[in-house]
Amino acid sequence: METAELTAEPKAALDKETQALRCEALAFGHCLVGKPPSELEIQRYIAAQPILFPDAASPREERLLAYCRKHPAAVAYLDAAQGVLGPENLLRKKILAMTAILETTPQHSEHFLSRDYSRLQLLARLGWTGFRAVLRVLLGIPLLKIVGH
Protein backbone atom coordinates (compact mmCIF):
# COMPACT_ATOMS: atom_id res chain seq x y z
CA MET A 1 0.00 0.00 0.00
CA GLU A 2 1.36 3.44 -0.87
CA THR A 3 1.65 6.31 1.58
CA ALA A 4 -0.81 8.43 -0.36
CA GLU A 5 -3.62 6.06 0.51
CA LEU A 6 -2.84 6.19 4.22
CA THR A 7 -2.38 9.91 4.70
CA ALA A 8 -5.46 11.71 5.97
CA GLU A 9 -4.13 15.27 6.51
CA PRO A 10 -3.50 17.75 3.70
CA LYS A 11 0.24 17.48 3.12
CA ALA A 12 0.86 21.07 2.24
CA ALA A 13 0.06 22.23 5.73
CA LEU A 14 2.81 20.16 7.28
CA ASP A 15 6.47 20.86 7.27
CA LYS A 16 8.66 18.31 5.57
CA GLU A 17 10.00 16.62 8.67
CA THR A 18 6.64 16.30 10.37
CA GLN A 19 5.20 14.97 7.18
CA ALA A 20 7.91 12.34 7.01
CA LEU A 21 7.17 11.32 10.60
CA ARG A 22 3.45 11.12 9.83
CA CYS A 23 4.21 8.77 6.95
CA GLU A 24 6.39 6.65 9.22
CA ALA A 25 3.70 6.46 11.87
CA LEU A 26 1.16 5.41 9.27
CA ALA A 27 3.44 2.82 7.74
CA PHE A 28 4.51 1.31 11.07
CA GLY A 29 1.01 1.41 12.54
CA HIS A 30 -0.40 -0.30 9.50
CA CYS A 31 2.29 -2.95 9.60
CA LEU A 32 1.65 -3.70 13.28
CA VAL A 33 -2.13 -3.69 13.60
CA GLY A 34 -3.32 -3.83 10.01
CA LYS A 35 -4.91 -0.41 9.91
CA PRO A 36 -3.75 3.19 10.04
CA PRO A 37 -3.26 4.60 13.52
CA SER A 38 -5.54 7.37 14.74
CA GLU A 39 -4.54 11.03 14.63
CA LEU A 40 -3.84 10.92 18.38
CA GLU A 41 -1.47 7.97 17.98
CA ILE A 42 0.30 9.71 15.11
CA GLN A 43 0.73 12.80 17.26
CA ARG A 44 2.16 10.70 20.08
CA TYR A 45 4.59 9.10 17.66
CA ILE A 46 5.73 12.50 16.40
CA ALA A 47 6.06 13.88 19.94
CA ALA A 48 8.18 10.87 20.93
CA GLN A 49 10.87 11.53 18.32
CA PRO A 50 12.94 14.27 19.99
CA ILE A 51 12.80 12.40 23.30
CA LEU A 52 13.69 8.94 22.05
CA PHE A 53 15.76 9.75 18.97
CA PRO A 54 17.53 13.05 19.52
CA ASP A 55 20.43 12.14 17.21
CA ALA A 56 20.29 12.46 13.45
CA ALA A 57 19.82 9.24 11.48
CA SER A 58 22.82 7.94 9.56
CA PRO A 59 22.50 8.10 5.75
CA ARG A 60 21.84 4.36 5.61
CA GLU A 61 19.17 4.54 8.32
CA GLU A 62 17.60 7.51 6.55
CA ARG A 63 17.50 5.52 3.30
CA LEU A 64 15.72 2.63 5.02
CA LEU A 65 13.22 4.95 6.68
CA ALA A 66 12.55 6.77 3.43
CA TYR A 67 11.92 3.47 1.69
CA CYS A 68 9.48 2.42 4.44
CA ARG A 69 7.63 5.72 4.12
CA LYS A 70 7.29 5.20 0.42
CA HIS A 71 6.56 1.47 0.53
CA PRO A 72 4.77 0.64 3.77
CA ALA A 73 4.33 -2.96 2.70
CA ALA A 74 8.11 -3.42 2.93
CA VAL A 75 8.31 -2.48 6.63
CA ALA A 76 7.87 -5.98 8.07
CA TYR A 77 10.43 -7.46 5.64
CA LEU A 78 13.11 -4.85 6.28
CA ASP A 79 12.48 -5.07 10.00
CA ALA A 80 12.78 -8.88 9.90
CA ALA A 81 16.03 -8.78 7.96
CA GLN A 82 17.45 -6.03 10.13
CA GLY A 83 16.56 -8.06 13.23
CA VAL A 84 18.86 -10.82 12.03
CA LEU A 85 21.60 -8.70 10.48
CA GLY A 86 21.84 -5.80 12.96
CA PRO A 87 19.09 -5.52 15.55
CA GLU A 88 20.35 -2.27 17.13
CA ASN A 89 19.03 -0.13 14.35
CA LEU A 90 16.98 3.06 14.17
CA LEU A 91 14.28 1.49 12.02
CA ARG A 92 13.65 -1.23 14.58
CA LYS A 93 13.76 1.24 17.44
CA LYS A 94 11.19 3.43 15.74
CA ILE A 95 8.89 0.49 15.06
CA LEU A 96 9.26 -0.50 18.72
CA ALA A 97 8.26 3.02 19.80
CA MET A 98 5.13 2.68 17.66
CA THR A 99 4.49 -0.77 19.16
CA ALA A 100 4.58 0.72 22.67
CA ILE A 101 2.22 3.50 21.62
CA LEU A 102 -0.27 1.09 20.09
CA GLU A 103 -0.02 -1.41 22.93
CA THR A 104 -1.07 1.25 25.42
CA THR A 105 -4.12 2.39 23.44
CA PRO A 106 -7.44 0.72 24.28
CA GLN A 107 -8.46 0.54 20.60
CA HIS A 108 -5.56 -1.82 19.87
CA SER A 109 -5.35 -3.71 23.15
CA GLU A 110 -6.80 -6.90 21.65
CA HIS A 111 -3.80 -7.15 19.34
CA PHE A 112 -1.61 -7.50 22.41
CA LEU A 113 -3.73 -9.30 24.99
CA SER A 114 -3.50 -13.08 25.04
CA ARG A 115 -6.47 -15.34 24.36
CA ASP A 116 -7.25 -18.86 25.44
CA TYR A 117 -6.65 -21.39 22.67
CA SER A 118 -6.98 -25.15 22.63
CA ARG A 119 -3.71 -27.08 22.26
CA LEU A 120 -4.33 -27.72 18.58
CA GLN A 121 -5.32 -24.15 17.79
CA LEU A 122 -2.26 -22.88 19.57
CA LEU A 123 0.01 -25.28 17.71
CA ALA A 124 -1.49 -24.29 14.35
CA ARG A 125 -1.20 -20.58 15.07
CA LEU A 126 2.35 -20.90 16.33
CA GLY A 127 3.28 -22.91 13.23
CA TRP A 128 1.81 -20.37 10.86
CA THR A 129 3.28 -17.38 12.70
CA GLY A 130 6.70 -19.01 12.82
CA PHE A 131 6.55 -19.87 9.13
CA ARG A 132 5.57 -16.29 8.26
CA ALA A 133 8.36 -14.90 10.42
CA VAL A 134 11.00 -17.05 8.69
CA LEU A 135 9.60 -16.17 5.27
CA ARG A 136 9.85 -12.47 6.09
CA VAL A 137 13.49 -12.86 7.07
CA LEU A 138 14.28 -14.74 3.86
CA LEU A 139 12.57 -12.21 1.62
CA GLY A 140 13.73 -9.27 3.68
CA ILE A 141 17.47 -9.95 3.49
CA PRO A 142 17.87 -9.34 -0.27
CA LEU A 143 15.54 -6.34 -0.04
CA LEU A 144 17.60 -4.88 2.80
CA LYS A 145 20.80 -5.40 0.81
CA ILE A 146 19.33 -3.48 -2.11
CA VAL A 147 17.72 -0.67 -0.12
CA GLY A 148 20.59 -0.31 2.34
CA HIS A 149 23.22 0.26 -0.30
Partner 1 sequence: MDTVDAIVVGSGAAGVNAAWPLVEAGLRVRMLDFGNKDRHYESLIAHKSWSELRRSDPHQHRYFVGDQLEGIPFGDVRVGAQLTPPRLFISEDCERFLPVDSSTFAVTESLAEGGLASGWGAGVFPFDDADLADAPINRQDLAPHYEAVAERIGVSGDQGDLQPFFGECSSMMPPLEIDSAGEQVFKRYQKRRDALRAAGFHLGKTRLAACSELHRGRGPHPHLDMDFWADAKRAVYRPRWTLEELKAFENFEYQDRRLVEHFNEVPGGVEVCVRNISNGQQERQRSRSLVMAAGALGSTRIVLRSLGMHDRPVPVLCNPYTYVPVLNTGMWGKPCKDRRHSLAQLTALSFSPGDRSRYTQAQLYSYRSLLLFKLIKESPLSRVDSMALLRLMQPLLGIIGIHHGDRPTPDKTLRLRAGGNGQDRLEIEYVQSKAEQAAQLADEKRVLACFRKLGCWPIKKISPGHGAAIHYAGSLPMGAESGEPGCDQDCRLNGTRSVYLADGCVFPSIPAKGLTFTIMANADRVGTGLARSLQSGALRAGVRE
SS3 content of the chain, % helix, strand, coil (to 5): 75, 0, 25
| Interface contacts to partner 1, rule CB under 8 A | 31-32, 44, 48, 51-52, 76-77, 79-80, 83-84, 87, 92-93, 95-97, 99-101, 103-106, 109-114, 116-122, 125-126, 129-130, 132-133, 136-137, 140
Smallest gap, in angstroms, from Cβ of residue 53 to partner 1? 9
Closer CB to partner 1, 10 or 106, in the complex: 106
- 3-class secondary structure per residue, 56-104: CCCHHHHHHHHHHHHCHHHHHHHHHHHHHHCCCCHHHHHHHHHHHHHHC
Q: Quick one: 11 or 47, whose CB is closer to partner 1?
A: 47
Between 7 and 105, name the residue whose CB sits nearer to partner 1. Answer: 105
Q: Are 147 and 64 in contact (CB under 8 A)?
A: yes
